A = this chain, B = another copy of it.
Amino acid sequence: MKNLIVAQSGGPSSAINATLAGVCKFAFESGKIDKVYGGLHGISGILEERIIELNSILDKDEKLDTLAMTPAAALGSCRKKLADYKEDDKEYKILIDILRKYNIGYFIYIGGNDSMDTVYKVAKYCKENNIDDIKVMGAPKTIDNDLCETDHSPGFGSAAKYIATTISELGYDGDVYNVPTVNIVEIMGRDAGWLTAASGLARINGHHVPDLIYLCEKPFDINQFVSDVKRKIAEKKTVIVAVSEGVKNSEGRYIAEVGDRKKDAFGHVELAGVGYVLKNVVKREIGCKVRSMELSLMQRCAGHIASKTDIEESKLIGYETAKYATEGGAGKVGIFLRNDKNGYSVEVDFVEISKIANKVKQVPIEWINEEGNDIKQELIDYLYPLIQGELPLKYKGGIPETIVIQ
């Protein structure tokens, strides 16, 4: 019987460990896999033979459950890009030697579109070199929801739930004072506005926030922004603006880089944040109280407010990917197909890795309003099921219980 190795790559999320737990669950209970190994810090660690055995560490179902609710990447991560093996196959040879040393039959790599480049290259190398004793598979993950082919990405729903909840709470906070105030919330997403769009879910129980939503899919115009804010602040005291970090002007340059044209000399590039640029614009053009906030790393690791739907689906895709590999599948990555005939449900399918690696799926323009300052109901309908449900979190000493495996 062959062994399996699993590793994690790219940015952390609240769900990447759920996928790891799913892989382990299948491996432990299927009877088709002997040992399960974890590669530490992704492909970088495997190449250095930093490999641990997981069977004994995760020897109880309870531990797998806790792992699935532990944020970030329990095996550690990396951002390594493998060379093109046609130019330099040294690392590929080292990798195959190490995998064979550990009698690996199945190699599952959990990551986003950049990490899928690794899976794609390794799978292709194996195929072209007739290495068929190792089945290489990808399992998707990214809070950004920018993976192609799949209806949505594991990890996104939890980040979306954190964002919706936080914007809702900031809405209550903002409504407290009777003084005109603009609160700008900068949300992750350089090339895709999915996370920023999730802020719109704060409205599902009737709240007005966010009052304005700017995604990076449409050109951002500072004058239009000023007039939008002026109009909103005339209607209500506190205006909450959700903006993608990656909004760009009509020439395609990041607002955070070009800044506020009239004050370029202020060194906005150094500051990076579009929120800071827009805060200064509001201060000067409107003159009211204004604050900018970044959800920063919190939005990708807030496991305490993870979406149950997301965590369960992430576990499922890990499970199915390991299963698919033992059935002979290779060179593919799992995706979700949405079924909303009788309520929402998903099925896992598999596609060629080349269809996902290095590609970005943006929010469809037709889901953004004409003015580019809000999202449409179709987008809310798409997002809504992904944040449903809360985890049966265990707390220990007042903070969520987690598991550390490296």
Contact = CB atoms under 8 A, between A and B. Distances in A.
A185 B170 CA distance: 19
Tell me the number of copies of this protein.
2
A402 interface: yes
A297 B291 contact: yes
Nearest to A309: B398
Contacts of A76: 175-178
B172 A399 contact: no
Contact of A387 (B172, B176, B399): B399
Nearest to A44: B178
What's the interface size class on A, roughly?
Answer: 35 or more
Given A170-B301, A173-B72, A305-B305, A398 B388 contact: yes
A329 interface: no
Interface in A261-302: 266-267, 271, 291, 293-294, 296-298, 300-302
Interface in A158-180: 161, 164-166, 168-170, 172-173, 175-178
For A72, A164, A202, which residue has the most chain B Cβ atoms within 10 angstroms?
A72
Interface in A103-128: none
3 tightest Cβ-Cβ pairs between the two chains A and B: A72-B172, A387-B398, A173-B301
Given A164-B399, A204-B396, 16 more contacts: A71-B172, A76-B175, A77-B176, A79-B177, A165-B304, A165-B400, A169-B301, A169-B304, A172-B303, A173-B300, A205-B402, A266-B267, A291-B296, A298-B298, A384-B397, A388-B398
Interface of A: 12, 41, 44-45, 70-73, 76-79, 161, 164-166, 168-170, 172-173, 175-178, 183, 201-202, 204-207, 266-267, 271, 291, 293-294, 296-298, 300-305, 307, 384, 387-390, 393, 395-402, 404
